[in-house]
Amino acid sequence: MADQAHPSPVSPGQMSSGGRSKGAAVTISGVTKTFRNRSRSTQALTSVDLTIDRGEFVTLLGPSGCGKSTLLHIVGGLITPDAGVVTIDGSTPHAARSKKQFGLIPQAPALVPWRTVHENILFLSTLNKRAGQTALPPTQIDELIEAVGLTDFCHAYPHELSGGMQQRVALVRGFALGAPVLLMDEPFAALDEITRASARYLLLDLWSRTGATVIFVTHSIPEAVILSDRVVVMAARPGRVAAVEDITLPRPRTPEMEDETVFLDHLRRLRNDLRDHHT
């Protein structure tokens, strides 16, 4: 089964203005977190400060165990920090969760096996409407489905799809919520490299159509560079912000940019930052 889609490049904000999205500002100030059990305590984060603008695409990059996912979950209100403050457009993470301001896209697509592609995409949006929250209008959701090449598979079930296609469904489902902040925890980690490379540009297309603020976690330096406005390098435990790289590649991003000197210079600097702060 084919696993490629070829969206046409669009500029941020091209999609019509219905629904929510359009991003929210995220402020992280002095966030510290230690996990404790009977035998030991592990400091996951210490004094993390970071400000993310509305509609910005920011990637957290660093070695395993540096607290990237912990920070993502603190922003999303799933973990409470020991110290520090996080705000989403001035609200607490808990209040932002109550207002359905977050969309979470994890490593595994987590599709409902007895629902079709279209039903899976609409599932969370339907729950949001029942809770009085606004998802993207049906016409915009259809645009997203078409953008990732799933229109002909709307009535297929997850077991009939490849892993890459399932992840496309998960991406559309996340954006379809209309949430102003999307939290992505290594969503392409389980994909092969060819499918993963294609998925990056699908993600950029969806993001440009909605204007959501994205916080993305990855171990891949090339992925971080091609996707991001800024890449935040996290130092090894206890996790902290070691460096921030502003990505100067123009948008929309294209695969050809990965051969350009500017792209390669960003790779080199980020590799050096990771090496310098690995321990």
Task: For the chain, 279 residues long, give each residue's pLDDT as a single digit of tens.
Answer: 444 444 434 444 434 344 455 799 999 999 999 998 878 888 999 999 999 999 999 999 998 889 999 999 999 999 999 999 999 999 999 999 888 889 889 888 888 999 999 999 888 776 665 444 557 888 888 888 998 889 999 999 999 999 889 989 999 998 888 899 999 999 988 888 888 888 899 999 989 988 999 999 999 999 999 999 999 999 987 899 999 999 999 999 999 999 999 999 999 999 999 988 776
Task: State the Cα–Cα distance between residues 122 and 50, nearest whole angstrom.
Answer: 33
pLDDT digits over 16-48, tens only?
344 455 799 999 999 999 998 878 888 999 999
Task: State the Cα–Cα distance between residues 46 and 34, nearest whole angstrom.
Answer: 9
Q: What is the pLDDT of residue 13?
A: 41
Q: What is the pLDDT of residue 209?
A: 86
pLDDT digits over 180-220, tens only?
999 999 998 888 888 888 889 999 998 998 899 999 999 99
Q: What is the pLDDT of residue 21?
A: 56
**Whole-structure pTM over 0.85, yes or no?**
yes
Task: State the Cα–Cα distance between residues 118 and 115, nearest whole angstrom.
Answer: 8
Q: What is the pLDDT of residue 233?
A: 97
Q: What is the pLDDT of residue 89?
A: 95
Task: State the Cα–Cα distance between residues 76 and 93, nearest whole angstrom.
Answer: 6
- Residues 197-219: b if buried by 16+ CB within 10 A, e if exposed: bbbbbbbbbbbbbbbbbbbbbbe
Query: Tokens for 62?
Result: 């660093």
